[in-house]
């Protein structure tokens, strides 16, 4: 029987090391090809490590809780009678593993491929409806900010229990509903946010970097320093987009569409028309992408993560709403799949739900641009010779000047604005 070397997989472009959270098998246990044998913590998510060989888990080289470089040996699977002494005695020689490569390297001859074992995770639990907080007229009592966040994130306030005075729904209730909406998983499999206890009289505390925060620190220094940014800002009239979204969300049995969903769709369509913005600087060349893979920035307790929704130009608005929400929820639970951690050609970052009117985002290399989205606000607007009230939103595009110039970015932003101001184009 073949010997299978289990190595630390490379699951993202920025990943240099990984931590073994826990082994799901112990030494001496039989292992089948396709079976999940361990959980690995990367800088972006917790990943289930799948075995590509069959036999017996003969040796665990890296115990649970310890880190190992990408490509280094962390375990050995082989027949019970196989001699693995020379393999274990060999000096460690981490070999770079390709992104999203198989987690294990089977040796010759190839091991048989039995059917994949069932996933260890339990079936998703349906969301539990919660009491409705409504006044005598049947209206939901909620703060304006809670209504705003719920509207932008697709949370149904009818299912949210309010904790404010008189049962009023407040912002924290909506955020709690967002975090509790994903399918429940075993408690030990969900990474808890790092607690930062405070003690009276203590002036400060040095908090160790989480893996996500360490990756952000490393990547942003690599981005802001060598990448020459320039910024373009435009104000978008969101009245028609807002009305269309309310009409779509009023349809019975249809998924809720958020403002972010509409912006992702608009960006995907505009990127196909302006491939120069859907590009990345490669040193001697500029790589132009002809598919719109959009990274969606998600704020976690540990830091920022950008899971990737692929082929957004080919997906309908409702598909983007459903699959984007699933992606965000699994990102919050650190349950992304390896292929969802990299490969974005453009990123959208929306801080509107935090009442941020406008900001400038840092490009996430190797992408060439990122769009920062502010809040949709009602404000006085001049329409013809009349003064009225309209919904407005500010978009700021950060561009890599090595890959594109101002006019290219401006034309792209102009088309995103047009698509949002004529939102029926998002449906055709």
User: Buried b vs exposed e over 403-422: b needs ≥16 C-beta within 10 Å?
Assistant: bbeeebbeebbebbbebbee
How many other C-beta atoms can be found within 10 angstroms of the C-beta atom of residue 245? 24
How many other C-beta atoms can be found within 10 angstroms of the C-beta atom of residue 231? 13
Q: Which residues, other chains included, contact 69 with Cβ-Cβ below 8 Å and sequence gap of 6+?
A: 8, 16, 17, 94
Q: How far apart are CA 284 and CA 405, in angstroms?
A: 17
Closest CA to 93 of 70, 75, 59: 70
Catalytic residue (one of 229, 274, 289, 401): 401
Structure tokens belonging to residue 281: 């600087």
Q: How far apart are CA 234 and CA 237, in angstroms?
A: 10
Q: How far apart are CA 60 and CA 387, in angstroms?
A: 72
401 as an active site residue: the answer is yes
Q: Write phi, then psi, for 211 (nearest 5 degrees).
A: -60, -35
CB half-sphere exposure, 380, CA atoms < 13 A:
3
Cβ distance 391 to 366 under 8 Å? no
- Burial, 86: exposed, middle or buried (Cβ in 10 Å; 0-12, 13-18, 19+)? exposed
Cite the beta strand spans of 115-269 per DSSP E.
Answer: 229-237
How many other C-beta atoms can be found within 10 angstroms of the C-beta atom of residue 243? 12
Structure tokens belonging to residue 378: 């009602």
Three-state DSSP at 18 gives strand
Strand partners, 47: 40
Helix residue ranges, H only, 77-170: 85-89, 144-153
Give the DSSP per-residue string, 285-340: SEEEPSS--EEE-EE-SS-EE--EE--GGGS-HHHHHHHHHHHHHHHHTT---GGG
Q: How far apart are CA 140 and CA 325, in angstroms?
A: 24
Residues annotated as catalytic (active site), given as ranges: 401
């Amino acid at each position: 029987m073949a010997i299978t070397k289990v190595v630390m997989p490379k699951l993202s472009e920025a990943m240099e090391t990984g931590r073994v959270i826990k082994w799901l098998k112990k030494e001496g246990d039989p292992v089948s090809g396709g079976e999940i044998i361990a959980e690995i913590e990367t800088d972006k998510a917790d990943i289930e490590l799948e075995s590509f060989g069959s036999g017996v888990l003969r040796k665990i080289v890296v115990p649970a809780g310890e880190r190992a470089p990408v490509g280094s040996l962390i375990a050995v699977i082989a027949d019970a009678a196989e001699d693995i002494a020379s393999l274990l005695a060999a000096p460690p020689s981490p070999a770079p593993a390709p992104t999203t490569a198989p987690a294990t390297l089977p040796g010759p001859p190839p091991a048989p491929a039995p059917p994949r074992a069932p996933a260890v995770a339990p079936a998703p639990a349906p969301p539990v409806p919660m009491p409705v907080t409504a006044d005598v007229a049947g209206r939901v009592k909620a703060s304006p900010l809670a209504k705003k966040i719920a509207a932008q994130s697709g949370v149904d306030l009818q299912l949210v229990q309010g904790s404010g005075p008189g049962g009023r729904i407040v912002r924290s209730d909506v955020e709690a509903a967002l975090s509790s909406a994903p399918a429940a998983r075993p408690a030990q499999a969900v990474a808890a946010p790092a607690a930062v206890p405070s003690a009276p009289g203590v002036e400060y505390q040095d908090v160790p970097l989480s893996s996500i925060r360490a990756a952000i620190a490393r990547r942003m220094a690599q981005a802001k320093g060598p990448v020459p940014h320039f910024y373009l800002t435009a104000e978008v009239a969101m009245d028609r987009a807002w009305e269309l979204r309310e009409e779509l969300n009023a349809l019975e049995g249809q998924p809720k569409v958020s403002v972010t969903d509409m912006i992702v769709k608009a960006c995907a369509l505009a990127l196909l028309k302006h491939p120069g913005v859907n590009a990345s600087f490669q040193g001697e060349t500029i790589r132009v992408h002809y598919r719109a893979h959009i990274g969606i920035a998600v704020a976690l307790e540990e830091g920022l993560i950008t899971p990737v929704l692929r082929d957004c130009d080919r997906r309908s608005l409702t598909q983007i709403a459903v699959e984007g929400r699933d992606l965000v929820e699994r990102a919050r639970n650190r349950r992304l799949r390896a292929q969802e951690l990299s490969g974005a050609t453009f990123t959208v970052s929306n801080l509107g739900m935090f009442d941020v009117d406008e900001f400038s985002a840092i490009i996430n290399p190797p992408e060439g641009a990122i769009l920062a989205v502010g809040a949709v606000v009602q404000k006085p607007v001049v329409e013809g010779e009349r003064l009225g009230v309209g919904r407005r939103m500010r978009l700021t595009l950060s561009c890599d000047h090595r890959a594109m110039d101002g006019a290219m970015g401006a034309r792209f932003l102009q088309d995103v604005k047009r698509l949002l101001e004529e939102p029926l184009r998002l449906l055709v």
